[in-house]
Structure 1
Amino acid sequence: MEGRTLRISQEADTESIIKKFRQESAKPCFTPLEVGIHLTKAYQPQIEYDKAKMSSKPYCSLVGSLMYLTCGTRPDISIAVTQLSRFLENPGQKPWDACIRVVRHLLRTNDVGITYDGRQGTELVVYLDADWAGNRDDRCSVSGLMLMMCGVAFDFPEDRRIEFY
């Protein structure tokens, strides 16, 4: 802790994920998800051959590992991880490739963490945003909320809603 600041990172955990999923020599990515990508149910395998092929991939393990980072020190990948978690039951090749892209993003940003700055005071700052029918599968709106204190986001829940007016 230096000058009323505290920095927390998960570099060792991030490195472990990169190695576990064999991405050490992969090309790093600037963004966690491909720009303009819309992951929908259309990317879930429909035939048994494709389902069997995907069952050999550790999709749930990778999403769980990424979720662990998200809950700790990496809110920057939370939207990607939330989208990828929708495919836990029946992942396809496109969601798997998107998961690997998040890992390749971690290659570029493995030293990223969060810094609590006590000099910024303890004022609670809240940001809220929503889209309109942004989920292309069910046309649900998705809203996001971010709570910040001491210059750091400490909670960022997401909610899908169906509301009739």
Structure 2
Amino acid sequence: MFLRYIFDMLEEFGMQNCSSVKTPLPTRDLSDFSESDSATDASMYRSIIGKLIYAANCARPDLAVAVSFLCRYMQSPKSIHMEAAKHTLRYLKGTAELGLEYRAQKVYKLVGYSDADYAQDKQDRKSFTGYVFILSGGPITWACRKQVSPASSSVESEYMSLSDASKECFWINQLLSLCKIPVPLPVTMFEDNQGCIALAQNPVFHRRTKHIDVRYHVVRHYIRSGGFIWSILILK
């Protein structure tokens, strides 16, 4: 059914015979454009992004970063942004048969991954939050979005992302409980920044962390309640 959705989307925008690419976004920096770049059909651009949002939210977590980035230019897209959106469609052409797969398990174990892209936006220097939760062999919820305020360090941006992930984890556990699906606690959350882990486990305020918004410290509550097992994810 979702394969049909992708093919219909490609046909709607005249991309059914396009060549495929291997990445959801082009390597060119989309935030680096001049005022001389021509405007594009904003209505068509929004229509493409709307359909990509549905795909990213329902069955294609690999589109989350690309869609989050393209959404920033919905108001007044330039030709460079339309090219990037069509690049994402070309990526879908080559990966149309990809999808989510879940396997039956005797014990359903929930595992989460949290990460952040520090100061990725060159215009306002805000970071991006990203997390995904795996259950029954496949992702059940994921997110990629810009953080509401700039972070002063990579540790702080990772901590803000981890806070959002912990709140999502709490909601997932509540939902699974209502569905009568037992999930053993604590939940394993993978985080690749040791400074962030130390900050989350140590509730002591000092001059480098006292400016962090109080709402992000909710992750400490979940740690003290035994909701997580902390692990280091070694990236290779």
Compute the TM-score of the two structures, normalised by the length of structure 2. Answer: 0.59
Q: Does 1:39 align with 2:25?
A: no
State the distance in 1 between where 2:9 and 2:41 align: 19
8 Å Cα contact 1:120/1:151 also seen in 2: no
State the identity %.
24
- Which consecutive segments of 4 or more residues in structure 1 shift more than 2 A? none
User: Any idea what the Cα deviations from partners look like across 1:101-130, whole Å, max 9, x if unmatched?
Assistant: 111111111111101112374211110111
Pairwise CA distance, 1:56: 6.1
Q: 2:83 aligns to what?
A: 97
Q: Which amino acid aligns with 1:21?
A: F
Pairwise CA distance, 1:13: 0.4
More strand by share: 1
Pairwise CA distance, 1:57: 5.6
| Residue 116 (structure 1) aligned to one of 98, 102, 111 | 102
Q: Does 1:59 align with 2:45?
A: yes
8 Å Cα contact 1:120/1:150 also seen in 2: no
State the distance in 2 between where 1:56 and 1:154 align: 32
Counterparts of residues 11-90 of structure 1 (less than 5 Å): 11-35=3-27, 37-40=28-31, 42-43=32-33, 46=35, 50-51=38-39, 54-55=40-41, 58-90=44-76
Q: Are residues 115 and 50 of structure 1, via their aligned partners in 2, closer, same or farther at CA, if it must alter by over 3 Å? A: same
8 Å Cα contact 2:42/2:77 also seen in 1: no
How many residue pairs get aligned? The number is 151
Counterparts of residues 131-142 of structure 1 (less than 5 Å): 131-142=117-128
State the distance in 2 between where 1:135 and 1:90 align: 18
Query: Which runs of 5 or more residues in structure 1 are unaligned?
Result: 1-8
Tell me whether 92-101 or 154-163 shows the greater mean CA deviation.
154-163
| Residue 10 (structure 1) aligned to one of 2, 26, 43 | 2
CA RMSD of aligned residues (A): 2.1
Q: Which amino acid aligns with 2:85?
A: C
Compute the TM-score of the two structures, normalised by the length of structure 1. Answer: 0.82
Q: Are residues 109 and 121 of structure 1, via their aligned partners in 2, closer, same or farther at CA, if it must alter by over 3 Å? A: farther
8 Å Cα contact 1:43/1:95 also seen in 2: no
Query: Which runs of 5 or more residues in structure 2 are unaligned?
Result: 153-207, 209-236
State the distance in 1 between where 2:92 and 2:77 align: 21
What secondary structure sits across from 2:4 in the alignment?
A: helix
Higher relative contact order at CA 8 Å, sep ≥6: structure 1 or structure 2? Answer: 1
8 Å Cα contact 1:140/1:162 also seen in 2: yes
Q: 1:148 aligns to what?
A: 134
